[in-house]
Structure 1
Amino acid sequence: MNFQHRKRLIVQTVDERGSIEVSELAALLQTSEMTVRRDLVQLAASGLLYRTRGGAMKVSLATDTHRFANKIAVNPERKDYICQLAANEIQEGDVIFMDCGSTVFRLCQFIRNKRITVVTNSLPIVAELMSSEVTINLVGGEVDKERQAVHGLIAEEHMARYRANRAFVGIDGISLQHGLSANSEKEASTTLAIARQSDKVYLLCDSSKLETNKYLYFAPLSLFNVLITDNEAPSEVVAAYRDAGVTLIN
């Protein structure tokens, strides 16, 4: 396959999926990862995509990675798969925390008919569940317009007043060596506050985030009880996490 053909397929795939890893492109194009990396360098130089550490991303997402609408657009199929698994863990009558992550948001569609209570700092989650069977407790405090979420000291004091059977939180990066990492102190502090008040913490993490490290390291792997990821996670990575004592569902 020549470069022009690969170029068309790469740009089309990145545009459709939002982001993609080098290994996935290599399998799709039936070529080597070295060739894919070389192609991505050329395409990024032409402004057709944005190079990430392990692959490529749509330019529109890369220029404003924290906007909630943009985060939702990345890897939607993986997120839905994860959330279906997560929904199976929830029992009728549960009180659950849901953070403002884009993966956690996609859990809403699978819990609409459950008679549970959701405590959340996410405005989109509140809007999505308003006409459902779910009882909603919206955390109070300052609103971050880009993340469409409530953060800050007052928000953490609010969460400290409640106890949940389960918490469902997202993450920007996770690695066996460094633990959990985030792009923002706000989201890191919210995750810590939620974890303190929950009997069981589920980390919802699509496989592209496994073994990645972000701006701020904030907690060890022991913060959560269960890691739920998708079935595209490399088998050797899944095995390494389980060997390290992580309870992983995929």
Structure 2
Amino acid sequence: MNFQKRKQNILDKLNITGEVDVKQLAMELAISEITIRRDLNQLANDGLLYRTHGGGMKVDPLAKPVDFINKSAQNAAVKDEICRKAAEHIHDGDIIFMDCGSTVFRLCPFIKNKKIKVITNSLPVIYELQNCAVSLNIIGGEFDSERQAVHGKIANEHIARYRAGKAFLGVDGVSQNGLFANSELEAEITSAYINQSAYTYLLCDAGKIGKETYLKFADINQVEAIITNAKDGQLSCFKDTALAILQVK
């Protein structure tokens, strides 16, 4: 069976069930799991599905833009392991902040059954968590179509009205020298979340560790923990800080 026929089979199944599993597809189509994974990665790159650890989920093109889905699908397995670890620290009754990062977005499937309140500026997070056990508080302000998120002065003022026990955030870079961003808007809203949270977790893949972009917006001691797949050697720069390091494979 060629790729085009496999592609149609996968998309047809997605339309019916909303999700697909690598092992099940391999058995049904009588091909290897390696081939199925390659097919799913290609479909994710084309914006036709949302790649998950072990399979894929249907994408609503009206709700989540292709560019955001493609970014979220990069290093999907690593991001999912980071988010699975993060979900272990979220419990019924919690009030949490979630920003608009592509890694933070992948936390959604792991918290849908938790009776919590999520305060967020991310439209994809709002879409993903609607009609589940989670209660949503939607931040208002200026809409950023590229980031699919709300930013600006009004958004920051909205956050300042609330307190959360925990925040789950992404950054463009983090080192012993602090937290770094590529955008002043991102820096401002991340700082607002940190200021209003009792405990802040950074969700960062190894590529963000030790990276310093042009804009430093916070010291490292302003956050409490980092969840990452980085190895011990890469994390040695944090040995003289109070940062809690939670590693995943």
What TM-score, normalized to structure 1? 0.71
CA shift, 1:242, in A, is: 3.4
Question: What SS is found at the alignment partner of 2:157?
Answer: helix
Counterparts of 1:117 and 1:245 in 2: how far apart (Å)? 28
Counterparts of 1:193 and 1:107 in 2: how far apart (Å)? 20
Counterpart in the other structure of 2:234:
237
Counterpart in the other structure of 1:137:
137
Residue 205 of structure 2 corresponds to residue 209 of structure 1: no
Counterpart in the other structure of 1:125:
125
Q: Deviations over 1:147-183 (max 9, x none)?
A: 000000000111111110100000101112x311111
Gap regions ≥5 residues in structure 1: 1-11, 19-66
Q: How many residues align?
A: 186
Counterpart in the other structure of 1:40:
none
- Amino acid of the residue matched to residue 192 of structure 1? S
Counterparts of 1:111 and 1:73 in 2: how far apart (Å)? 19
Which structure 2 residues correspond to residues 100-119 of structure 1 after superposition, within 5 A?
100-119=100-119
Contact kept? 1:173, 1:210, Cα under 8 Å: yes
Residue 92 of structure 2 corresponds to residue 95 of structure 1: no
Counterpart in the other structure of 2:84:
84
Q: Deviations over 1:31-67 (max 9, x none)?
A: xxxxxxxxxxxxxxxxxxxxxxxxxxxxxxxxxxxx5
Q: 240-249 or 142-151: which moved more?
A: 240-249
Question: What SS is found at the alignment partner of 1:68?
Answer: helix
Contact kept? 1:175, 1:210, Cα under 8 Å: yes
Residue 150 of structure 2 corresponds to residue 150 of structure 1: yes
Counterpart in the other structure of 2:244:
247
Q: 234-243 or 130-139: which moved more?
A: 234-243
Contact kept? 2:221, 2:242, Cα under 8 Å: no
CA shift, 1:189, in A, is: 0.4
- Amino acid of the residue matched to residue 89 of structure 1? H
Counterpart in the other structure of 1:189:
188
- Structure 1 moving runs of 4+ over 6 Å: 15-18
- Amino acid of the residue matched to residue 214 of structure 2? Y
Contact kept? 1:184, 1:215, Cα under 8 Å: no
Percent of matched pairs sharing the same residue: 51
Counterpart in the other structure of 2:197:
198
Counterpart in the other structure of 1:228:
227
Contact kept? 2:223, 2:243, Cα under 8 Å: no
Counterpart in the other structure of 2:159:
159
Contact kept? 1:96, 1:164, Cα under 8 Å: yes
What TM-score, normalized to structure 2? 0.71
- Amino acid of the residue matched to residue 153 of structure 1? K
Contact kept? 1:242, 1:248, Cα under 8 Å: no
Q: 116-125 or 76-85: which moved more?
A: 76-85
Contact kept? 2:226, 2:243, Cα under 8 Å: yes
CA shift, 1:243, in A, is: 4.0
Note closer, same or farther for the CA distance 1:242–1:91 as it changes in structure 2 (3 Å cut): farther
- Amino acid of the residue matched to residue 93 of structure 1? G
Contact kept? 2:209, 2:235, Cα under 8 Å: no
- Amino acid of the residue matched to residue 189 of structure 2? T
Contact kept? 1:114, 1:134, Cα under 8 Å: yes
Counterparts of 1:197 and 1:147 in 2: how far apart (Å)? 22
Question: What SS is found at the alignment partner of 1:217?
Answer: strand
Q: Deviations over 1:73-125 (max 9, x none)?
A: 32111111110110000111000000000110000010000000000000000
